[in-house]
Amino acid sequence: MTETKIVVITGASSGMGEATAKLLAKDGARLVLGARREERLKILKSEVEKLGGQAVYGMTDVTDVAQVEALAQLAMQTFGRIDVWINSAGIMPQSPLADKRIADWDNMIDINIKGTLYGIGAALPYMNQKQAGQIINVSSVAGHIAHQNSAVYSATKFAVQAISESLRQEMAAAQNNVRVTVVAPGAVNTELLSSVTDPQVKAGMAQFYDSFAISADRVALTIKQAINLPADTAWNEVIIRPTNQIS
């Protein structure tokens, strides 16, 4: 059950990471929260404790492997183990390739791909040692289908899918009871839209989200359900969309 789990969440200061922390807190979970914005982390820690959970936090830029490793060490020093690691940090600055928004490309690659890899690398030694654990990677429906303006974002999410499937096979072959889950949401109300730097693309996406997006709480519930499955069973991937979202 989640109240016995030690759960590390990157990207915890907003969106799906924040919603998941609050939901797990209601079951008394012990949380290790990582994000760049310390003030938000302080507030979230207080909210988690009011909801019945326990929390510590570490300022964490997932593009810095040393900071991600430090978050894992914080979990071990505070709670003695890592049961679940949730890679939730991500950005979505979509734009036409012809615009050559190279800074956006680099940021997506660094946060969405490298951040996921760094999280896996930080958690896995501890999970391998105790022969149990769960890695949950937040991907996107964009990891299954690419649209115009989504080339690099979709590429990063396709990468998360590939990384997760390879990891799943490695863990299964090792017979070490480490579960791997990918959660691939469609339109969800988070701060992701704020990372879109192309004004025209952002306006179109905002209109789409206004029409279809669901609460981040829905994704949090899916993550909680994945965690609560019996240890011999894993949801390897869950695609979760608003009911009326077509693609």
Q: What is the CATH number of the domain that holds 96?
A: 3.40.50.720
Domain region containing 138:
2-239
What is the total count of domains within the chain? 1
CB 122 within 8 Å of CB 68: yes
162 within some domain: yes
Q: Is residue 247 part of a domain?
A: no
Whether 164 maps to a domain, the answer reads yes
pLDDT at 1: 42
Which are the contacts of 117, defined by CB distance < 8 A and separation ≥ 6? Answer: 163
Give the residues of the chain that fall short of pLDDT 70. Answer: 1-3
Query: Is 140 contained in some domain?
Result: yes
- Enumerate residues 6+ apart whose C-beta is below 8 A from 39: none
d(CA 149, CA 201): 8
- Asked if the structure places residue 6 within a domain, the reply is yes
Q: Is residue 245 part of a domain?
A: no
Active site annotation includes 153: yes
The answer to whether 244 and 187 have CB atoms below 8 angstroms apart is no
3-class secondary structure for 27-93? CCCEEEEEECCHHHHHHHHHHHHHCCCEEEEEECCCCCHHHHHHHHHHHHHHHCCCCEEEECCCCCC
pTM of the model: 0.95
Q: Give CA angle at 244 (211, 217), nearest 5°.
A: 75
Residue 246 resides in a domain: no
Q: What is the pLDDT of residues 95-127, one digit of tens each?
A: 999 999 999 999 999 999 999 999 999 999 999
Contacts of residue 76, Cβ cutoff 8 Å, sequence gap at least 6: 82, 126
Strand order in the sheet with 237-240: 54-59, 30-35, 6-10, 84-87, 133-138, 178-185, 237-240
Q: Are 119 and 63 in contact (CB under 8 A)?
A: no
Please pick, among 57, 118, 126, 153, the residue that the annotation labels catalytic: 153
Structural tokens at position 93: 């600055």
Amino acid at 159: A
Q: How many residues does the chain have?
A: 247
Q: Is residue 103 part of a domain?
A: yes
